[in-house]
Chain A
């Protein structure tokens, strides 16, 4: 089946690291994504990882993928108040990797000063 699960809320202090977790069910997923949504805005693509990779780092962002457990995480180092937003995990569906993405419910990240 197609299902992506995320915890709904995470609160951290400014300067700490944030870790947002996600689990997915479709073993044929080729790419997994992290998107950020700020109030009243669309989705901003933060990063993505190919399913044959274990880790990807991009500045303050680190993505870890455990394909065996179908677990994806996003670590934000030195979290800032501007990082407060909803973060969505998404998987691409189908081996042909067409444009269908299945999203999790989103994790609201609250950053306290």
Chain B
């Protein structure tokens, strides 16, 4: 069974640009969450999607957005990039059979975003 796939693995963007990152969850998993990992702030929750709806949101500015498609694949978008957005962005998928039970979250390898 394939794991969580994130593309691209590495990305270099210029300040002010926007970027879209993609996450394909494990087949059959319905919940996708996004996290930002930086040396200074550690791992921080961005948002979670379930059945194409945002179910949870972290404390990030509106420049960070996401969506989920009917096949559970998810994208996150960051507009007007700042130097401080340089980070490893991790996606996690969970089975979530009945809409509220998430015992195991499996992570992808992440997308390393560098803003110059």
Contact = CB atoms under 8 A, between A and B. Distances in A.
B110 A99 contact: no
Interface stretch (A19-27, A66-74, A100-108): A100-108
Contacts of B42: 103-106
Contacts of B105: 33, 45, 99, 101
Contacts, number: 67
Given A99-B33, A100-B58, A42 B45 contact: no
B96 A45 contact: no
A32 B21 CA distance: 28
Interface in A37-63: 41-45, 48
B45 A97 contact: no
Interface stretch (B11-19, B48-56, B75-83): B48-56
Given A98-B50, A99-B102, A88 B43 contact: yes
A92 B102 CA distance: 9
Interface residues of B, number: 29
Contacts of B35: 101, 103
Interface of A: 31, 33, 35, 41-45, 48, 88, 90, 92, 96-106
Closest 7 CB pairs of A and B: A103-B43, A43-B107, A99-B48, A99-B33, A42-B107, A42-B109, A100-B56
Interface of B: 4, 6, 31-33, 35, 42-43, 45, 48, 50, 55-56, 58, 90, 92, 94, 96, 100-110
